[in-house]
């Protein structure tokens, strides 16, 4: 069942849990994520990252996402993750994505506001929810093409001003996570999270959830974050299952990888609840 992110994230915020947002890269991963959500009776935000356009095109992602989302009864959001190009974001909306992210976090605050507001004004004409980011989530070793850079914490006053000026539906904030693989478990700034959650009325988003540690992520989910992005852990989970099972052919390999990804998603769906 296709829904907007605003619908499910406002519920998550009011009830104190987080929705998992897994990035899919093909039909198998999309189907695994949606079927696991259906089996556990929990919503997910099925995400396609613009950075993965060399693996799967925007058009292919739209067709796959809509197909699998409509095959189940649980709420599924089809979300464009880390949209850095306005033309791509508008195209995603025209193709049926129900949620988009405009990522202008590397721009100046003023330029981020300008670009985000333009997308919000456009997307809302079509009933599409919009996520944006302030502060910046850095990068470790990763499967995506983010530039290597350090995280920059989100300032509370900036968050308040940004939401007021843009009318955005959800806000990705930086409290110490990074995209990709960590060397050790990160130390998250929960004091800053509490300040942001108290000051900002819209749902907050955490990027770079993979490898952040179960205790950290559970605390985020029940202490102010309403959406948590996971990608790298699915790739690692699928590969670990392949190495363990040693599949004999391609068909077995696909089934084995799917099993590993399903187990990762089930773990996080349970972890992010109260």
Give the residue numbers marked as catalytic: 81
* The token pair that represents 146 in the structure block: 């983010």
Q: Are 21 and 44 within 8 A, CB to CB?
A: yes
Rounded to an integer, what distance in angstroms lies between the CA atom of residue 223 and that of residue 266? 21
What phi, psi does 187 have (nearest 5°)?
-100, 115
Q: How many CB atoms lie within 10 A of CB 243?
A: 11
How far is CA 11 from each of CA 26, 208, 248, 249, rounded to the nearest angstrom? Answer: 29, 22, 45, 44
Q: Give the burial string for 78-113 (b: 16+ CB within 10 Å, else e).
A: bbbbbbbeeeebbbbbebebbbbbbbbbeeeeeebb
Q: Give the burial string for 136-150 (b: 16+ CB within 10 Å, else e).
A: bbbbbebbbebeeee
Q: Are 83 and 97 within 8 A, CB to CB?
A: no
* The token pair that represents 196 in the structure block: 């942001």
């Amino acid at each position: 069942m296709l829904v907007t992110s605003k619908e499910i994230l406002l519920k998550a915020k009011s009830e104190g849990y987080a929705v998992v947002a897994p990035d899919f890269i093909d039909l198998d991963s999309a189907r695994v994520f949606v079927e696991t959500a259906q089996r556990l009776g929990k919503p997910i935000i099925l995400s396609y990252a613009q950075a993965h356009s060399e693996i799967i095109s925007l058009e292919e992602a739209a067709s796959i996402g809509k197909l699998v989302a409509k095959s189940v009864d649980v709420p599924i959001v089809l979300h464009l993750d880390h949209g850095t190009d306005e033309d791509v974001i508008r195209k995603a909306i025209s193709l049926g994505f129900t949620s988009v992210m405009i990522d202008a976090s590397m721009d100046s605050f003023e330029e981020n506001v300008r670009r985000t507001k333009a997308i919000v004004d456009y997307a809302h004409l079509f009933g599409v929810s919009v996520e944006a980011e302030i502060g910046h989530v850095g990068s470790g070793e990763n499967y995506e093409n983010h530039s290597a850079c350090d995280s920059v914490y989100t300032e509370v006053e900036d968050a308040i001003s940004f939401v007021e000026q843009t009318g955005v539906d959800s806000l990705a904030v930086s409290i110490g996570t990074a995209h990709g693989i960590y060397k050790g478990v990160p130390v998250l700034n929960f004091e800053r999270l509490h300040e942001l959650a108290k000051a900002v009325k819209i749902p907050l988003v955490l990027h770079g959830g993979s490898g952040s540690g179960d205790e950290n992520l559970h605390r985020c989910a029940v202490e102010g974050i309403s959406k948590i992005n996971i990608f790298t852990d699915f790739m690692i989970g699928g590969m670990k299952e392949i190495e363990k099972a040693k599949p004999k052919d391609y068909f077995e390999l696909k089934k084995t990888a799917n099993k590993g990804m399903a187990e990762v998603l089930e773990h996080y769906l349970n972890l992010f609840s109260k």
